[in-house]
Amino acid sequence: MSDGKPRIGVFKYSCCAGCEFQLIFFQKHVLETLGKVEIVFCRMLQSGGVEEGPFDVALIEGTITEQWQIEQLRKIRSVTTYVIPIGSCAVCGGVPAIKNNEQEYTIQSRVYEDTSRLTSIRAHSVDQYVPVDGYIKGCPMGERDLAEFVTSLLLGKRPEFIQYPVCVECKLQHNICVLVAYHWPCMGPVTNAGCGALCPSHDRECYGCWGPMKNAHARALANRFAKMGLSEEDICRRFTEFGEPTVEWKPGQVRRWDVVQK
């Protein structure tokens, strides 16, 4: 720490950068809390900065899709006390991991005429490459969990992140359950809360953007979707829209979502 302030580095990999925008635009109390720390590296906030560390905290945004990112991530890990993925891309693969549903070349040639100079690899979450010390979930990341983490860091206590499904927030909003009432394929039961049940509160189903909830019973929900008439392909798509297909949904089972500890 310098001047008693924790040193924070913010690193961006493959993503839309929406989580870094959140960091900048979060409500007043988060910015006030961030004033108690020193952001020593964040390309979106400043030019320059101390890229090589050491850091008390590294906030990592984005999915890992290139070899140089893995190497940099390992270096960051070696000079950082707390490595925290922020947002669904870094936490569980997010939107970029949709590409893992197809062969790499098939995806590349669908987008680019000339693929000869592409160096991208399969899309994976940060914890596939380095140990992490917690997750700030959301797409974009949630304000409540970020404030909890920074405050806990300053107080020297263990942060308590939200770990219950969107359904809990949905019931607190007194919403009609669109899964039960309308048979819409709502991902709320297996998705980590934090958004305030935004979509069911606006008359549409949850599509899982905050990523998997710890100990979610994905198989039961997949079976429910199948009974509602969704094809295997549609169910697979539902479960991999915001997470890498290490979910590996096969007929009759959803492996990772049964055991995921995120």
Residues within the interface to ligand SF4 (CB under 6 A) = 15-19, 61-62, 87-89, 94-95, 139-140, 166-167, 170-171, 175, 177-179, 186, 188-189, 191, 195, 197-200, 206-210
Whether 53 contacts 80, CB under 8 Å:
yes
CA distance 33 to 105: 45
Closest contact distance (angstroms) between CB of 240 and ligand SF4 is 14
Say which residue the tokens 């987008």 belong to. 111
Query: Are 63 and 18 spatial neighbours (Cβ–Cβ below 8 Å)?
Result: no
**Shortest spacing between CB 113 and ligand SF4, in angstroms:** 26
Quick one: 153 or 166, whose CB is closer to ligand SF4? 166
- Least CB distance from residue 13 to ligand SF4, whole Å? 9
Q: How far is the CB of 114 from ligand SF4 (least distance, A)?
A: 26
CB-nearer residue toward ligand SF4: 38 or 241: 241
Token pair of 230 as six digits: 């969704």
Please give the residue whose beta carbon sits closest to ligand SF4 in the complex.
188
Residues 6+ apart with CB under 8 A from 100: 93, 122, 123, 240, 244, 245
Please provide the distance, in angstroms rounded to a whole number, between the alpha carbons at the two ends of the chain: 29
55-61 vs 253-254, strand pairing mode: unpaired
Cβ nearer to ligand SF4, comparing 19 with 247: 19
Name which of 28 and 202 has its Cβ closer to ligand SF4: 202
Residues in the chain: 262
Q: Which is nearer to ligand SF4, 154 or 180 (CB)?
A: 180
Q: How far is the CB of 72 from ligand SF4 (least distance, A)?
A: 17
248 near 239, Cβ under 8 Å? no
Decide whether 158 or 262 has the Cβ nearer to ligand SF4.
262
Minimum gap (Å) between residue 156 Cβ and ligand SF4: 28
Contact present, 197 and 188 (Cβ < 8 Å): yes
